[in-house]
Chain A
Amino acid sequence: MDRVVIVGGSIAAVRAVEGLRDLGYKGRLTLVGAERHLPYDRPPLSKQALVTGDLSATRLHDRAWYDEREVELLLGTPATALDTEHRQLRVADRTLPYDGLVIATGAQPRSMAMVADPSLVHELRTLDDLARIHEAFGRSRRLCVVGAGFIGLEIAAAARASGLDVVVLESDPTPLFRHLGADAGAWLGRLHERHGVDVRCGTSVSAVHGRPGAVRVELRDGATLEVDAVVVGVGVRPATDWLESSGLRLGDGVTCDESLRTSVPGIVAAGDVASWHHRLYGRSMRVEHWTTAAEQGRHAAATLLGEMLPYEAVPYVWSDQWSARLRLVGTTTGADRVKVLASSDTTLEVVFGNADRVLGALCVNAAKRLVVHRQAIARATPWQDLTTV
């Protein structure tokens, strides 16, 4: 193998570059990024960078770092098609041959079908999105956030910290309902309300009208909101449109085996775009969080170089909202039972599982407890043994 191409411009792609060079790959190496920016870290986009506009926390490596490792950067040019038969990648008007390929194109925001004019709503996924929203914060007094997931709640907190009046709309009964369940969701809703965020659950948007700077949001229950700006955070979907005719097996993202190999030899995938077989959980999963993307980038590089180990790390995600430091280890997908181990105004500890085992745990301002929970999850501890955790 002497011609590897990495498609993607975020942490999974960067860790794949690091992994390939660290593990001794000396051939040609090209990184193809859809954005014009050097590859950067996305978590700060919905956090401190949104309040301050300071992008330093998003920085990964400078251009000299790539030069030293002889990495060719093709930025601002998304890959548009993949020909797996002839091992060629289409990038703008170029055709790139490869003999090893890492797919790390991540995910893209879901849009709301009822928004006729996309210029009326913001989405937050990229540095350019951040610049637009930060600017909108500066000339707005009242903001509507659609979607009370991790991103929506972080945006709401950032906007409130920037002095705006904020309304959050969520169709589920509580914030993060599908992710964390009713108990933790309601706890988070109260946290945001204490900080002056107007959290409205069980309501959904029927139409968005007006013009940028004066937007009218109509709700299905007949209510209307007049706001200066709207940010939508209703989830993401894997960025696989460019792979439709590639012959790669696609499902919920790019389908991979346990070591992150796709259905075509010489091609691996990592991060939000990859759906891989997780041995610990005994099923396919796709994770949209930083830690998995970072670790899979390196792991996919090793797999591409012939080291066939399963990727079986326990997932982890964090979110800091106001004084609450949320840390979730494992997964809540597939959980049909929840146990609140501790709950106060400032702390929360919730375990998620199914009939067989402990699947995940949420700790708010109780991060030391993550250690035992992760061990319990990694050992597939039976749910009935939970009291001994």
Chain B
Amino acid sequence: MSLTVLVDMDACQGYACCLMEAPGVFDLNEEVGKVMLLEPHPGEHQRDVVEAAVRTCPAKALSLAAPGDRAIG
């Protein structure tokens, strides 16, 4: 059972908190100052770091889809 990460690109401000918490899931496009999603469906074993990335995003640009949500990220 994998997770589904949703990104609000308009909200993202390039704070880079997500890549510090979960470097295998998120990267940063330094040119435009926006997040790049490396792994839209991280495994359950990455739940803790992905949830930390969601919580620590100052721009509130990240969320985890609830089970049953249609992935748009």
CB closest residue in chain B, given A318: B15
Q: Mark B20-60, 1 if CB is under 8 A from A, else 0.
A: 10010001101001000000000000000000000110100
B55: which of A43, A295, A327, A367 is its contact (CB, 8 Å)?
A295
* Cβ–Cβ < 8 Å partners of B19 in chain A: 367-368, 370-371
- Asked if B13 CB lies within 8 Å of chain A CBs, one says yes
Given A365-B30, A368-B28, are A298 and B20 neighbors across the interface (CB < 8 Å)? Answer: no
- Asked if B16 CB lies within 8 Å of chain A CBs, one says yes
* Cβ–Cβ < 8 Å partners of B13 in chain A: 320
- Asked if B61 CB lies within 8 Å of chain A CBs, one says no
Given A325-B14, A327-B15, A366-B30, are A371 and B58 neighbors across the interface (CB < 8 Å)? Answer: no
A368: which of B17, B27, B55, B58 is its contact (CB, 8 Å)?
B27
* Cβ–Cβ < 8 Å partners of A366 in chain B: 30
State whether B30 touches A367 (Cβ < 8 A).
yes
Of B13, B16, B23, B30, chain A has the most CB atoms within 10 Å of the CB of B16
Query: In the docked arrangement, what's the CA distance between A318 and B16, Å?
Result: 10
* Cβ–Cβ < 8 Å partners of A40 in chain B: none
* Cβ–Cβ < 8 Å partners of A329 in chain B: 20
CB closest residue in chain A, given B58: A290
B56: which of A295, A327, A371 is its contact (CB, 8 Å)?
A295
How far apart are A223's CB and chain B's nearest CB, in angstroms? 38
How far apart are A11's CB and chain B's nearest CB, in angstroms? 9
State whether A370 touches B16 (Cβ < 8 A).
yes
* Cβ–Cβ < 8 Å partners of A291 in chain B: 17, 56, 58
B20: which of A290, A294, A365, A371 is its contact (CB, 8 Å)?
A371
* Cβ–Cβ < 8 Å partners of B20 in chain A: 316, 329, 370-371, 374
* Cβ–Cβ < 8 Å partners of B55 in chain A: 15, 294-295, 298
* Cβ–Cβ < 8 Å partners of B28 in chain A: 367-368
* Cβ–Cβ < 8 Å partners of B56 in chain A: 291, 294-295, 316
CB closest residue in chain A, given B13: A320
Interface size on A, residues (CB 8 A): 20
How far apart are A142's CB and chain B's nearest CB, in angstroms? 30
Query: In the docked arrangement, what's the CA distance between A294 and B23, Å?
Result: 21
Query: In the docked arrangement, what's the CA distance between A266 and B20, Å?
Result: 33
Tell me the A360-381 residues at the B interface (CB within 8 Å): 365-368, 370-371, 374
Of B13, B14, B58, chain A has the most CB atoms within 10 Å of the CB of B58
CB closest residue in chain B, given A60: B60
* Cβ–Cβ < 8 Å partners of B15 in chain A: 318, 327, 367
Query: In the docked arrangement, what's the CA distance between A371 and B18, Å?
Result: 10
* Cβ–Cβ < 8 Å partners of B14 in chain A: 325, 367
Tell me the A288-342 residues at the B interface (CB within 8 Å): 290-291, 294-295, 298, 316, 318, 320, 325, 327, 329
Q: Mark A270-298, 1 if CB is under 8 A from B, else 0.
A: 00000000000000000000110011001
How far apart are A168's CB and chain B's nearest CB, in angstroms? 24
How far apart are B37's CB and chain A's nearest CB, in angstroms? 15
* Cβ–Cβ < 8 Å partners of A15 in chain B: 55
Tell me the A106-152 residues at the B interface (CB within 8 Å): none
State whether A371 touches B30 (Cβ < 8 A).
no
How far apart are A357's CB and chain B's nearest CB, in angstroms? 18
How far apart are A20's CB and chain B's nearest CB, in angstroms? 15
Query: In the docked arrangement, what's the CA distance between A233 and B68, Å?
Result: 48
Query: In the docked arrangement, what's the CA distance between A99 and B33, Å?
Result: 46
Contacts A295-B56, A366-B30 supplied; 8 other A-B pairs, CB < 8 Å: A291-B56, A294-B56, A316-B56, A325-B33, A368-B27, A368-B30, A370-B20, A371-B20
Q: Which residues in B have some Cβ–Cβ distance to A below 8 Å?
A: 13-17, 19-20, 23, 27-28, 30, 33, 55-56, 58
Rank and list the top 7 A-B pairs by shortest CB-CB distance, nearest first.
A367-B16, A374-B20, A370-B16, A371-B23, A318-B15, A368-B28, A367-B28
Instruction: Sample 24 A-B pairs with CB under 8 A, ordered by A number.
Output: A290-B58, A294-B55, A294-B56, A295-B55, A316-B17, A318-B15, A320-B13, A325-B14, A327-B15, A329-B20, A365-B30, A367-B16, A367-B19, A367-B30, A367-B33, A368-B16, A368-B19, A368-B27, A368-B28, A368-B30, A370-B16, A370-B20, A371-B16, A374-B20
